[in-house]
């Protein structure tokens, strides 16, 4: 039995007129679906906003940046992996530079704690960082005045340094800063350049902390022999950052002679990974929200089933008549299924609108990282799809009941 397009048109018209005729009952019935869809849409909107915020922060921090740290394998005995064995040595960084084609820039970074002094002031707690010139590219922080370190600075361990604006202010250096001298641990250093202030306000860093940079080789000279060293590198692009990570890992294992099966004695972190982790977490939350929705849709669905059963029994005579003029069981079935689906979609529509309103509300919460909260299109699609599925699933039994009614008995129904 083929149902004609005219049948579908009439069935949908009838469904809409039924909902309209019983509008209060329809709204109350679809409340479960409305609340379920509205709350998920709102949660998804909040997550979307949060994600947009976090991704933006990560991006400003540099998604293709890679860090290498010394790392003692978990639960490994201290004597098997002594500090000396796991700490990163300068020659290892040189080796990485040679062997990792996916890297655009790589620099060792070491921090030393020495007093920093000018003629005016003497300061403690300013970090002195030893770097290669590649650092500017790896950290995306340029020299805005003066020059970067050059080969000779590095080779001759020259006593030159770069400052940021905060350090210049703290040391009360003359306006331009470049050309002044400062004392690091009592040694005279020439200020050759000014490094731009850090942009990313993440991980506790901001532009108000004073920073002093010296050539890496110079830092080694100032350093006690047991020093801590990490590596900052930049992949050629975010796309190859995972490849670059693998190259670093392979090279490090090779030069450290780590046997297959033995754990790494270092750790390679790609910012990308944090993004992935965040995305995983967001997906997890979405799944939990989905579960909650599942339950509320179940409750909503039972409401729909109930009202459809009421509708079938209220309209028993009508069903009998429709059968008498030629409606097949499948036509009756389809009509009641459509009615349940339309009712659910109507609930879904109100729910999505409610979620949208909630999302707009979220963006006005002061201080919350939800400025970008919005209902994504896929969530609207999923909401409607789920509503329709609930309609079919819970409308099925009442529709089956209607389709199986005996025409004579139905027409005799009071």
Nearest distance from C-beta of residue 311 to another protein, angstroms: 14
Instruction: Please answer whether residues 116 and 128 qualify as being in contact, where contact means their C-beta atoms are separated by less than 8 angstroms.
Output: yes
Judged by CB under 8 A, the stretch of 1-9, 55-63, 132-140, 227-235 that binds another protein is: 1-9
Would you say 3 or 299 has its CB closer to another protein?
A: 3
Instruction: Please answer whether residues 293 and 36 qualify as being in contact, where contact means their C-beta atoms are separated by less than 8 angstroms.
Output: yes
Pairing verdict, β 160-164 and 103-112: unpaired
Q: Kindly report the backbone phi and psi dihedral angles of residue 210, in degrees, each rounded to the nearest multiple of 5, phi listed first.
A: -70, 140
Total residues binding another protein (CB under 8 A): 27
Q: Is 167 left (phi over 0), alpha (psi -120 to 50) or beta?
A: alpha
Query: Is 377 near another protein (CB under 8 A)?
Result: no
Would you say 365 or 408 has its CB closer to another protein?
A: 408
Interaction mask 9-28, another protein, x per CB under 8 A: -xx-----x---x-------
Judged by CB under 8 A, the stretch of 86-94, 125-133, 322-330, 340-348 that binds another protein is: 322-330
Pairing verdict, β 127-131 and 143-146: unpaired
Nearest distance from C-beta of residue 316 to another protein, angstroms: 12
Would you say 200 or 331 has its CB closer to another protein?
A: 331
Q: Give one DSSP letter per residue of 36-67, joined into a string.
A: HHHHHHHHHHHHHHHHHHHHHHHHHH-TTEEE
Instruction: Please answer whether residues 192 and 152 qualify as being in contact, where contact means their C-beta atoms are separated by less than 8 angstroms.
Output: no
Tokens (6 digits) for 37: 């869809």
Residue written as token pair 């997890």: 284
Query: Is 287 near another protein (CB under 8 A)?
Result: no
Would you say 12 or 166 has its CB closer to another protein?
A: 12
Tokens (6 digits) for 232: 């900052």
Query: Is 408 near another protein (CB under 8 A)?
Result: yes
Given 249, 282, 318, 397, the residue binding another protein (CB under 8 A):
318
Distance CA 241, CA 65 (A): 8
Instruction: Please answer whether residues 109 and 194 qualify as being in contact, where contact means their C-beta atoms are separated by less than 8 angstroms.
Output: no
Interaction mask 331-370, another protein, x per CB under 8 A: x---------------------------------------
Query: Is 407 near another protein (CB under 8 A)?
Result: yes
Given 231, 327, 345, 350, the residue binding another protein (CB under 8 A):
327
Distance CA 136, CA 109 (A): 12
Would you say 260 or 326 has its CB closer to another protein?
A: 326
Residue written as token pair 């509320």: 296
Given 326, 366, 377, 414, the residue binding another protein (CB under 8 A):
326
Report the site for another protein in 239-278 (rule: CB under 8 A): none
Instruction: Please answer whether residues 276 and 12 qualify as being in contact, where contact means their C-beta atoms are separated by less than 8 angstroms.
Output: no
Residues at the contact surface with another protein, assessed by CB under 8 A: 1-2, 4-7, 10-11, 17, 21, 317-318, 320-331, 407-408, 411
């Amino acid at each position: 039995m083929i149902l004609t397009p005219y049948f579908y048109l009439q069935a949908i018209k009838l469904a809409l007129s039924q909902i309209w005729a019983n509008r209060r009952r329809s709204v109350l019935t679809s409340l479960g679906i409305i609340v379920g869809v509205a709350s998920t849409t709102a949660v998804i909107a909040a997550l979307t906003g949060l994600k947009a915020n976090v991704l933006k922060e990560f991006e400003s921090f540099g998604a293709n940046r890679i860090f290498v740290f010394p790392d003692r394998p978990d639960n490994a005995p201290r004597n098997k992996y002594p500090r000396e064995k796991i700490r990163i040595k300068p020659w290892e960084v040189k080796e990485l530079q040679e062997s990792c084609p996916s890297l655009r820039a790589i620099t060792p970074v070491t921090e030393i704690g020495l007093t920093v002094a000018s003629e005016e002031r003497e300061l403690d707690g300013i970090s002195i960082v030893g770097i290669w010139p590649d650092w500017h590219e790896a950290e995306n922080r340029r020299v805005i005045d003066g020059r970067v370190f050059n080969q000779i600075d590095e080779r001759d361990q020259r006593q030159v340094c770069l400052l940021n604006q905060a350090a210049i202010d703290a040391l009360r250096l003359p306006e331009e800063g470049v050309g002044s001298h400062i004392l690091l641990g009592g040694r005279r250093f020439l200020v050759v350049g000014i490094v731009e202030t850090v942009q990313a306000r993440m991980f506790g860093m901001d532009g108000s902390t004073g920073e002093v940079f010296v050539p890496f080789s110079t830092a080694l000279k100032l350093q006690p022999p047991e020093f801590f060293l990490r590596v900052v590198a930049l992949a050629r692009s975010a796309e190859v950052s995972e490849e670059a990570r693998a190259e670093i890992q392979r090279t490090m294992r090779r030069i450290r002679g780590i046997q297959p099966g033995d754990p790494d004695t270092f750790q390679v972190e790609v910012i990308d990974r944090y993004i992935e982790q965040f995305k995983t977490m967001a997906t997890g939350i979405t799944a939990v929200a989905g579960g909650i929705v599942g339950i509320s849709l179940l409750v909503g669905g039972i409401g729909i089933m109930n009202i459809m059963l009421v509708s079938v029994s209220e309209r028993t005579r009508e069903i009998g008549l429709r059968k008498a003029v030629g409606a097949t069981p499948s036509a009756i079935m389809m009509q009641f299924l459509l009615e349940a689906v339309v009712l659910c979609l109507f609930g879904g529509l109100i729910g999505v609108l409610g979620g949208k309103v909630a999302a707009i509300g979220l963006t006005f919460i002061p201080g919350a990282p939800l400025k970008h909260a919005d209902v994504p299109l896929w969530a609207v699609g999923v909401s409607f799809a789920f509503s329709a599925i609930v309609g079919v699933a819970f409308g099925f039994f009442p529709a089956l009941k209607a389709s199986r009614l005996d025409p004579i008995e139905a027409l005799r129904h009071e």
